[in-house]
Structure 1
Amino acid sequence: MIYISDKAKQKVDALRAEGTLASDYFLRVSVVGGGCSGLSYKLDFDNETKPKDQVFEDKGIKVVTDLKSFLYLCNTTLEFSEGINGKGFYFNNPNAARTCACGDSFAV
């Protein structure tokens, strides 16, 4: 499962309310190579699923990931922070053995 924090849900709902996202769009989360720790998160809005996608829903938000990325993302929570030190969307990943200082990449 991939989880959504209350603040992340509020931000996604706000983006939809602004009219920037159609109601059929969902969050696509993936892991790609790169970053100072070796792996990086990728977060997009998408409206097309692929045959081997893993589909979850938490707090009314649909989250989709490819099978390979799910191996790294199992039990991860998508968070949102704002303000002077805010990061925007970020991931709280219990599978990460280490992360970089900026929090954009990780290693397992």
Structure 2
Amino acid sequence: MKVTIDPSTVEILRTMMTEQGKDAIRIKHAGPGCGGISVAIIADEQRENDEVVEDQGIKIVADKSISFFFKNAVISHTNGIYGPILKLK
């Protein structure tokens, strides 16, 4: 797994982790999608079966059963009507 964080998204992720009392950002399987799996990006804790990388001081985790999908992926965001929308590109 190779995942980095867009510099403009770092503070959003840190705030999310602090507010929820979590120590990592999880890339989570959210169902099938047209071009592969759909994912959600949430604040969470590291688990036993996770692959772990770190970027800009933030721990990024994903279950080993899906982590192989994420090669040269970047966590970024867009600003939506209700706040930032996290995405993986």
In the TM superposition, 1:1-108 aligns within 5 A as 1-16=2-17, 20-22=19-21, 24-47=22-45, 49-82=46-79, 88-92=85-89
- Alpha-carbon distance in 1 for matches of 2:84, 2:29: 18
Distance of aligned partners of 1:83 and 1:29 in 2 relative to their CA distance in 1, 3 Å threshold: closer
Contact 1:2 1:75 in 2 (8 A): yes
State which structure, 1 or 2, has the greater radius of gyration over its C-alpha atoms: 1
Contact 2:41 2:87 in 1 (8 A): no
Distance of aligned partners of 1:38 and 1:73 in 2 relative to their CA distance in 1, 3 Å threshold: closer
Structure 2 length as normaliser, TM-score?
A: 0.77
CA RMSD, Structure 1 to Structure 2 (Å): 2.3
Unaligned runs of 5+ in 1: 93-108
Deviations 1:62-96 (A, max 9, x none): 10011121111122110012156x8611111xxxx
Structure 1 length as normaliser, TM-score?
A: 0.65
SS in 2 for 1:34: strand
Contact 1:7 1:81 in 2 (8 A): no
Distance of aligned partners of 1:2 and 1:35 in 2 relative to their CA distance in 1, 3 Å threshold: same
- Count how many residue pairs are aligned between Structure 1 and Structure 2: 87
SS in 1 for 2:20: coil
